[in-house]
Amino acid sequence: MEKVFKISSKSLIISISLVFLSFLLSIGLGAAKIPPWEIINLFIYYFSENQGQIEINKINQIIIFEWRLPRFCLGFLVGASLAIAGCGFQGVFKNPLADPFLLGSAAGAGLGVTLIIVYNINFSFFIINSVQIGAFIGALGAVMCAAFISINAGKTIPSLLLAGVATAAFLTSCQTYFMHKYYSSMQEIYSWIIGRLLTSGWDEVITITPYFLICFLIIYLFRKELDLLRLSEDEARMLGGNPNITYFIVLTASSLLTAVAVSLSGLIAFVGLVIPHIVRLTVSSSYRVMIPLSALVGGAFLTFADTFSRIVISPAELPIGIVTAFIGAPFFAFLLKASKGSF
């Protein structure tokens, strides 16, 4: 009998190829174009013990290792984080519209950043600046607020969903109030809201990596539980599952991933919603397959979008949130058509 719940080698090779291609494009394209062989040569040089024997372009070396590689890594980790968080939310809510911002984290992060900007609060904590801290606290605070409302409303999944909608609406109205009151800050806030990847060396990558690794591991460990939740709750319990613990742990880990991602990149829409669906429609609907593949595809997709945003109106940059939706939406519409009623 052929293996079930297994990531097929074909889908794994395609996903890794996408990551590699996005890596070459992200590193190679920009104001200074660096061909793929030179990129590979530079990496061989970087990791080589006999560096004196290889000739390299020092300027390209600086461009790659101090600017483009950190940006590629940040884009990959943010895309992967949002895609994994999307898997977690869709698994728990069993709703095709579920995305990482469902429980109000986008609105919370938006309000947090707005308050930091309009009151001109400037401080930093180790390598994290005040805007990132505002977004992180806002995003997690919103989710906790939704959870608190839900706990007092019967602790059911539909009540949590509705509490998230109410929290998001309330926080968005607060944010809009501050944006109108402090009109001069509107452009700065708006440019954060539509999402962008900005790196200053490796600081952002160092910030997100531990969150990513821990939360990814936790959500991946719950892959079988998420598959059981695709049945009814009672059936899941009888098959050895523990729905309540799964809801709590997966939503906590997904919310943490979302909070750290939005704090570093702003509100990049669409990735967390659509990447899990793309993997579900093209490869498998099992979370054992979806979680790792969504991480690879989500990371590759965001770095593709980032590269596109850097080169399309160069030397200026398009906000990445516009690009993810502009490229992703038509592709997803095509997939939906091809899926012929799978939703």
Partner 1 sequence: MGYKAKDLTVYINNINIIDKISFDFPSGSYVSIIGPNGAGKTTLLKTLAGLLNYKGSLSINNQNVKELFKNSNNFNCAYVPQIIGIPEGMSLIEYIFLGRNSFTNWFLSENKKDYDIVEEALNKLNLGSKKNQLVKSLSGGEMQRATLARALAQQANLLLLDEPTSSLDFARTQDFYKLITNLNKDLKLTIFLSTHDINSISRYSEYVIALKEGKNVFSGHINEILNEVFLSELYETKLKKIITEDGYSLFF
In whole angstroms, how far apart are CA 327 and each of 50, 79, 306?
43, 14, 11
Interface with partner 1, residue 167, by CB under 8 A: no
Interface with partner 1, residue 246, by CB under 8 A: no
CB of 53 to partner 1, least distance (A): 44
Token reading at 212: 């990513």
In whole angstroms, how far apart are CA 196 and each of 61, 72, 192, 280, 337?
24, 13, 7, 27, 30
Between residues 208 and 249, which has the closer beta carbon with respect to partner 1? 249
Name the one range near partner 1 by CB under 8 A: 131-139, 226-234, 264-272, 298-306. 226-234
Q: Which amino acid, residue 73?
A: C
Between residues 6 and 33, which has the closer beta carbon with respect to partner 1? 6
Interface with partner 1, residue 310, by CB under 8 A: no
Helix (H) / strand (E) element for 125: namely: strand 124-125
Site for partner 1 in 276-295 (CB under 8 A): 280, 284-286, 288
Between residues 314 and 342, which has the closer beta carbon with respect to partner 1? 342
Between residues 52 and 240, which has the closer beta carbon with respect to partner 1? 240
Between residues 71 and 280, which has the closer beta carbon with respect to partner 1? 280
Number of H helices, E strands in the chain: 15, 2
Q: What is the DSSP letter of 65?
A: I
Interface with partner 1, residue 1, by CB under 8 A: yes
Q: How far apart are CA 148 and CA 243, in angstroms?
A: 19
Alpha helices in 119-193 (DSSP H): 130-151, 157-181, 186-193
CB of 227 to partner 1, least distance (A): 7
Among 5, 20, 177, 190, binds partner 1 (CB under 8 A): 5
Among 36, 206, 224, 326, binds partner 1 (CB under 8 A): 224
SS3 128: strand
Interface with partner 1, residue 61, by CB under 8 A: no
Compute the Cα dihedral for 72, 73, 74, 75 and give only its sign: positive
Among 44, 231, 312, 338, binds partner 1 (CB under 8 A): 231
Interface with partner 1, residue 230, by CB under 8 A: yes
SS3 129: strand
Angle between helices 203-221 and 69-93 (to 10 degrees): 30
Interface with partner 1, residue 235, by CB under 8 A: yes
Among 131, 227, 257, 328, binds partner 1 (CB under 8 A): 227
CB of 269 to partner 1, least distance (A): 24
Among 121, 238, 312, 329, binds partner 1 (CB under 8 A): 238
Interface with partner 1, residue 4, by CB under 8 A: yes
Interface with partner 1, residue 9, by CB under 8 A: no
Among 202, 237, 311, 336, binds partner 1 (CB under 8 A): 237
Interface with partner 1, residue 313, by CB under 8 A: no
Interface with partner 1, residue 157, by CB under 8 A: no
Helix (H) / strand (E) element for 124: namely: strand 124-125
Residues 6+ apart with CB under 8 A from 247: 92, 157
DSSP string, 277-306: HHHHHHT-S-HHHHHHHHHHHHHHHHHHHH
Residues that bind partner 1 (CB under 8 A): 1, 4-6, 221, 224, 227-228, 230-232, 234-235, 237-241, 280, 284-286, 288, 342-343
